[in-house]
Each structure stands twice: as structure tokens, then as C-alpha cells.
């Protein structure tokens, strides 16, 4: 085996492409940007047509020889492959090229490791990295075998370094999982608190570098780090938005999505992605200046389906109209409901239109009214209180007089077959939703 360098920053890119991968040029540019985001210098690239993947190298043997020649000519110390490789393919390429090989999943994990700032984010990244590494441990340190046993029944090799590494890695994964479970329990309690307060929850989602964090800062006083980088923000940030016609709402900034996001990373970032899954409304942010924005929207929607957020209502937000040379506007469907908002989070153009639309969509689903219940409606009263629907209450000999402020979706199930819920049912029938 060759000696691994601790850090390789001179990178040669291998860019596989096929008919099913779409625009190879755009994909190659995105991968190069990922590499630069990781802090590496891109020396050059080798394109490889792959319709029938080679089980040994993924790319063909002739192309592998071409990559080896380029590595020597450019004096690269790491080869980055724009595809997810099997552990065997990665190991075989490393042997053939005599330099470190990192696939797309490993590169994304490395970027996440650099960008994670919170305790939770660091735990999530390390857990994903260890799960990725677990499939790539090789028998590379047999010279470090433990001493052989000498007693009867203990003869033969002791625990190899590989087995030791696997055992230690497994123990570390268990420990991180427990710590992360504790942190995620705390976040779940925070989300439940917001649910009890019936404050509408809005989450920003979108392809990485679409401008979500810039929009988050423009709508709130969040102060989230925003830069022209892939995965500039990883840790979930939640802030209150007060200047909406429907009243206050909670806005969450989430991690950006990307093609072929490693499954271990999706699983690890449950806390971040739960903000999208539990939201009342998703603001799907896209780059209006990007010719592939519809394809990237499908990528994001695919990840949302994977995490169970595919059914959450969405509002399309076309950002960066200043770069696209487009005017700010609000598109509406045949029923007059807002479907798409065009704006620039950087310049502020169109933000007022987004605030108006948010007020329409969130306020239209809430009920602000007073209802009187008999003293026999104790169970319904308790359920309304548990749901956080009651803002004020008075009681006298005739019963409870409750001021309600809650989403219609919360109140409707409580107005079911209970005979004491008749006043609530009548209220919901009379209090029609605000038309958007």
C-alpha cells in the first residue's frame, strides 16, 4: 500500500457522465465548486463516459490508466470522483493510482465536517462519517496484530487491527447515536412548544446556494452566515417573524439539498430536516437565474419525499431576480391563490410581496374567535387547552367563554362527534377561511 498523506489539496477530478445524468457540463461545474468549497485546488479533470459501470473501477480500465497518467503529470495528491463508489471500487482505484481517492459522498461529508458549528451539527456529521467509513475499513494494518495467545484454546492470532478498528468504530457510533438522540429529544420538545402555541411554522428549503440564508436574514434578524458557497449553512436556525398580517410566525432555515446527497447524511440530519417535515408551509427557494432550476426543484422534492415532507404545502420563491434581470411579482393560480413569488433577497426587491403572501396563506388557515361551551364540555376544554388554541378564558355559571386563536386544521378534529362540541362546529362553519 502507498503512504496516505494527511491532507491533499491538489485535486484531479474524474467526471463520469452518461445519458441518464443530464447536463454533464453543468454537473462538472457544480462538482468543481464542491471541491473548491472543501478547500482544494482543482488541477484539471478527466471526463469519463460510463454507460455500463466497471465493477472494479467504476470507470473503464483504459480510462483508469488515463487518470493515472494525469495524476503523475499534474502531481495531484488526491483524486475526486463525481459519483458514489463502492468500497471495492474506491480501494482498487487507490491501488491503481497510488493516491487517495474520494467519491462524491466522501467529499460532501468532508464539507459538512468543515461547516458544522453547533454541537448537534458536529455530532450529526461525525455519525454520518463513521457510518460511511465503516464500509471502507480494509485489512491494511495486519502487522499490528495483537500477540498470539499461548494457552490451550487461545492459540492463533489475536485481535487484528482491522477488528479493533471495527469494534472501536462501532462503540463510537453507539455513543454518538445516544448523544444525538438526547439533543434531538430537546429539539422535539422545542417544536412541541411551538405547536402548543399554535404559531405557524414556515421552513426554507431549496437546492444549495439558492439564497435561503440570505432570504432568512432579510425576513428576520437571524444573522445567519450567508455566502456564495455550497453548503454555507448547515445548522438549523429558527427565528420569529413579526411583521405579517396573520400575526407572528416561526421561520426555520434548513440545510441545502444537492444531487446524490449521501443517505447516511440524510439519516443523520434528522433534526435539521424535521423542521421541514413539521412545518405548516415550505418556502421552496430557487435561483431564478439558473437555467436548470426546474431540474433542481425535482431534486429537492425527491429529498423531501424521502424525509416524509412531500405532502407539506409549498410556496415557490424565485430568488436572485436581480441577476436574472426580472421584475418582482407574485404569480397566482386560477383560484387566485399565490403560487410563486419572484424576489431578490440580496436587494430586498419583492420582499414586501412575500410578506403579504405569507400573511394570506398562514392567516387564511387560522380562526380568531370567541366560543362559549357548557360546563359539561370539560373534556373538550382540556383538549383545546392542550392544543394551545385558547388565548384567554372566562368562566361563569353558564360555562366557559374561550378566546380561540388556532389553525383550522387543529380545531376541526376537536369539533367531532362530541355533543358538547356543537358550538365549536357552528363557529367553524360560520368562520369561513380567508380566501387567498
Domain of residue 36, CATH code: 3.40.50.11060
Q: Please indicate, yes or no, whether residues 310 and 371 belong to a single structural domain of this protein.
A: no
Residue 124 inside a domain? The answer is: no
Q: What is the DSSP string of 269-294?
A: THHHHHHHHT-SEEEEEEETT-TTHH
**Closest-CA residue to 30 (of 312, 318, 325, 230):** 230
**Cell triple for residue 267?**
439519516
Residue 43 backbone dihedrals phi, psi, to 5 degrees: -85, -30
pLDDT in tens, 113-139: 777 666 777 777 777 778 777 777 654
Let me know whether 339 and 371 are in one domain.
no
Q: Is residue 336 located within the same domain as residue 384? A: no
Task: Quote the cell numbers at residue 377.
Answer: 364540555
My answer on whether 374 and 426 are in the same domain is: yes
pLDDT average, residue stretch 166-177: 78
Say how many C-beta atoms besides its own lie within 10 A of residue 302's C-beta.
13
Mean of all residue pLDDT scores within the chain? 80
pLDDT value at residue 114:
77
Average pLDDT on 206-229 reads 78
2/235: higher pLDDT: 235
Q: Is 312 domain-assigned?
A: yes
Q: Do both 229 and 308 map to the same domain?
A: yes
**148 pLDDT band (50/70/90 cuts)?**
very low
Cβ-contact 341, 357 below 8 angstroms: yes
Q: Report the C-alpha gap between 102 and 99 in whole angstroms.
A: 10
The rounded radius of gyration (Å) of the Cα atoms in the chain is: 27
Nearest-angstrom CA–CA distance, 278 and 282: 10
Residues 270 and 398 in one domain: no
7 pLDDT higher than 80? no
Burial of 145 (0-12, 13-18, 19+ CB in 10 A): middle
Least confident residue range of 1-5, 250-254, 293-297, 345-349: 1-5
Domain count for the chain: 3
298 lies in the same domain as 349 = yes
The pLDDT of residue 130:
81
Domain membership of residue 185 (yes or no) is no
CB 420 within 8 A of CB 380: yes
- Report yes or no on 144 lying in a domain: no
Q: Report yes or no on 25 lying in a domain.
A: yes
Q: Which of 112, 134, 152 is the last residue of a domain?
A: 112
What CATH number should be reported for the domain holding residue 295? Answer: 3.40.50.300
Residue 417: which CATH number?
A: 3.30.70
The per-residue pLDDT for 168 is 75
pLDDT at 348 over 90: yes
Q: In what order do the strands lie in the sheet with 237-241?
A: 237-241, 249-253, 201-206, 281-287, 314-319, 338-342, 329-332
Band of residue 385 on the pLDDT scale cut at 50, 70, 90: confident
Residue 143's pLDDT is: 44
Q: Are residues 310 and 245 in the same domain?
A: yes
CB 271 within 8 A of CB 236: yes
Residue 2 lies in a domain: no
Of 382, 405, 402, which is closest to residue 392 (Cα–Cα)?
402
65 pLDDT exceeds 60? Answer: yes
Considering the domain architecture, whether residues 388 and 322 belong to the same structural domain is answered as no
Same domain (yes/no): 228, 299: yes
| Same structural domain, 294 and 383 | no
Over 90: is that where the pLDDT of 346 sits? yes
pLDDT tens, position by position, 323-335 = 999 999 999 988 8
Helix (H, G, I), strand (E, B) or coil at 384: helix
**Domain boundary pick from 363, 379, 408:** 363
Is 354 within 8 Å of 317 (Cβ atoms)? yes
Asked whether residue 53 is assigned to any structural domain, the reply reads yes
Mean pLDDT of 305-325: 90
Asked if 319 and 409 sit in the same domain, the reply is no
Res 215 pLDDT > 50: yes
> Does any domain span residue 176?
no
Per-residue H/E/C for 14-69: EEEECHHHCCHHHHHHHHHHHHHHCCCEEEEEEEEECCCCECCCECCHHHHHHHHH
Give the domain extent around 56.
10-112
Q: Which of 96, 112, 128 is where one domain is finished?
A: 112
Amino acid at each position: 500500500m502507498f503512504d496516505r498523506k494527511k491532507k491533499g489539496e491538489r485535486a484531479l477530478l474524474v467526471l463520469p457522465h452518461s445519458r441518464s445524468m443530464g447536463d454533464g457540463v453543468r454537473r462538472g461545474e457544480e462538482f468543481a465548486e464542491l471541491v473548491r468549497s472543501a478547500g482544494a485546488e482543482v488541477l484539471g479533470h478527466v471526463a469519463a463516459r460510463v454507460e455500463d459501470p466497471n465493477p472494479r473501477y467504476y470507470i473503464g480500465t483504459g480510462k483508469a490508466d488515463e487518470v493515472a497518467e494525469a495524476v503523475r503529470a499534474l502531481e495531484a495528491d488526491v483524486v475526486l470522483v463525481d459519483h458514489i463508489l463502492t468500497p471495492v471500487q474506491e480501494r482498487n482505484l487507490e491501488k491503481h493510482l497510488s493516491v487517495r481517492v474520494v467519491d462524491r459522498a466522501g467529499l460532501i461529508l468532508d464539507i459538512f465536517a468543515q461547516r458544522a458549528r453547533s454541537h448537534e451539527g458536529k455530532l450529526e456529521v461525525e455519525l454520518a462519517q463513521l457510518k460511511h467509513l465503516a464500509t471502507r475499513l480494509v485489512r491494511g494494518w495486519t502487522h499490528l496484530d495483537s500477540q498470539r495467545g499461548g494457552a490451550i484454546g487461545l492459540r492463533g492470532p489475536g485481535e487484528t487491527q482491522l477488528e479493533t478498528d471495527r469494534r472501536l468504530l462501532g462503540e463510537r457510533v453507539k455513543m454518538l447515536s445516544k448523544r444525538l438522540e438526547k439533543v434531538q429529544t430537546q429539539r422535539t420538545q422545542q417544536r412541541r412548544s411551538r405547536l402548543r402555541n399554535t404559531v405557524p411554522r414556515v421552513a426554507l428549503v431549496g437546492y444549495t446556494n439558492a439564497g435561503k440564508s440570505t432570504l432568512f436574514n432579510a425576513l428576520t434578524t437571524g444573522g445567519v452566515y450567508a455566502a456564495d458557497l455550497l453548503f454555507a449553512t448547515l445548522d438549523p436556525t429558527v427565528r420569529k417573524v413579526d411583521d405579517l398580517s396573520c400575526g407572528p410566525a416561526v421561520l426555520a432555515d434548513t440545510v441545502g439539498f444537492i444531487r446524490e446527497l449521501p443517505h447516511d447524511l440524510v439519516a443523520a440530519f434528522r433534526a435539521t430536516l424535521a423542521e421541514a417535515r413539521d412545518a405548516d408551509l415550505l418556502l421552496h427557494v430557487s435561483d431564478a437565474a439558473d437555467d436548470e432550476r426546474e431540474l433542481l426543484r425535482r431534486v429537492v422534492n425527491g429529498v423531501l419525499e424521502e424525509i416524509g415532507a412531500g405532502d407539506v404545502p409549498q410556496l415557490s420563491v424565485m430568488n436572485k431576480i436581480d441577476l436574472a434581470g426580472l421584475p418582482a411579482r407574485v404569480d397566482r393560480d386560477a383560484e387566485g391563490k399565490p403560487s410563486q413569488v419572484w424576489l431578490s433577497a440580496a436587494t430586498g426587491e419583492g420582499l414586501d410581496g412575500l410578506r403579504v403572501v405569507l400573511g394570506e396563506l398562514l392567516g387564511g388557515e387560522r380562526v380568531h374567535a370567541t366560543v362559549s361551551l357548557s360546563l359539561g364540555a370539560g373534556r373538550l376544554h382540556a383538549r383545546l387547552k392542550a392544543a394551545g388554541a385558547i388565548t384567554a378564558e372566562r368562566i361563569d355559571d353558564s360555562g366557559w367563554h374561550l378566546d380561540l386563536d388556532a389553525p383550522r386544521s387543529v380545531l376541526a378534529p376537536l369539533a367531532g362527534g362530541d355533543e358538547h362540541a356543537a358550538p365549536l362546529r357552528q363557529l367553524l362553519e360560520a368562520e369561513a377561511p380567508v380566501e387567498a
